[in-house]
Chains A and B, each alone.
Chain A
Amino acid sequence: NAGVTQTPKFRVLKTGQSMTLLCAQDMNHEYMYWYRQDPGMGLRLIHYSVGEGTTAKGEVPDGYNVSRLKKQNFLLGLESAAPSQTSVYFCASTTPFEGLDEKLFFGSGTQLSVL
């Protein structure tokens, strides 16, 4: 049972380049999330999805797009990377069907640097 897997683990981009971060979970979870973590800022929600084919904006969605074409995958795209998007990105998933258990399962993160 791999849990939540993020690829890639590290990436360096030049300003203006595009890329896609992949999150895959094998727990059949309905809910998936993308967060960014910056020093002293905690985690901030970028986008989230409550099911296949649905996405919604979080706290800091600008400059990012997402897709959830398959239940197990949640993709985060940067169309034109900016230095302000240098961050560590975490994917998480959970399910509402374990009572009120809102435990999030996190991936190990993607460290992105935009030069």
Chain B
Amino acid sequence: AQSVTQLDSHVSVSEGTPVLLRCNYSSSYSPSLFWYVQHPNKGLQLLLKYTSAATLVKGINGFEAEFKKSETSFHLTKPSAHMSDAAEYFCVVSEGGYGGSQGNLIFGKGTKLSVKP
């Protein structure tokens, strides 16, 4: 069975410093992995996705994530945090090419990112 664990419920960084949001997954097959962002009182927006192509995935707003099969990790990073990055971030795993169609997208519990001036 697939699962996803976000290792930190809350991360706080200063503006201009690096961001690291950690995600570990468990999957029986080759998974698809995603990061979504949710700004306050908004719906979720896709940041980036991994679907067995390049292991380093670049997303929007300067975020990127690296798929490490040996560590079963898909951590999200950004070199320099901006105030507008303050939001909640969700790591998501699915199995199969159309995992969404089978309703088996599994969301992590979220990591709230705070950015201090």
Asked if chains A and B come from one complex, the reply is yes
- Residue numbers of A with Cβ under 8 A of B are 4, 30-31, 33, 35, 40-45, 48, 50, 56, 58, 90, 92, 94, 96, 100, 102-104, 106-109
B-side interface residues, number (CB < 8 Å): 25
**Residue from A96, A100, A102, A107 with most neighbouring chain B CB atoms (10 Å):** A102
Binds A, one of B11-19, B36-44, B61-69, B75-83: B36-44
What residues on B are CB-neighbors of A44 within 8 Å? 107
Interface residue? B97 (CB, 8 A): yes
The answer on a CB contact under 8 Å between A45 and B42 is no
Cα(A43)–Cα(B89), bound, Å: 11
Pick from B43, B94, B100, B109: contact of A90, CB under 8 Å: B43
Known contacts A42-B110, A45-B105; 12 additional CB pairs below 8 A are: A33-B103, A42-B90, A42-B108, A56-B103, A58-B103, A92-B44, A100-B51, A102-B34, A102-B100, A104-B100, A106-B45, A108-B42
The answer on a CB contact under 8 Å between A106 and B103 is no
Interface string of B44-56 (1 = CB under 8 A from A): 1110010100000
The answer on a CB contact under 8 Å between A94 and B100 is yes
The answer on a CB contact under 8 Å between A107 and B109 is no
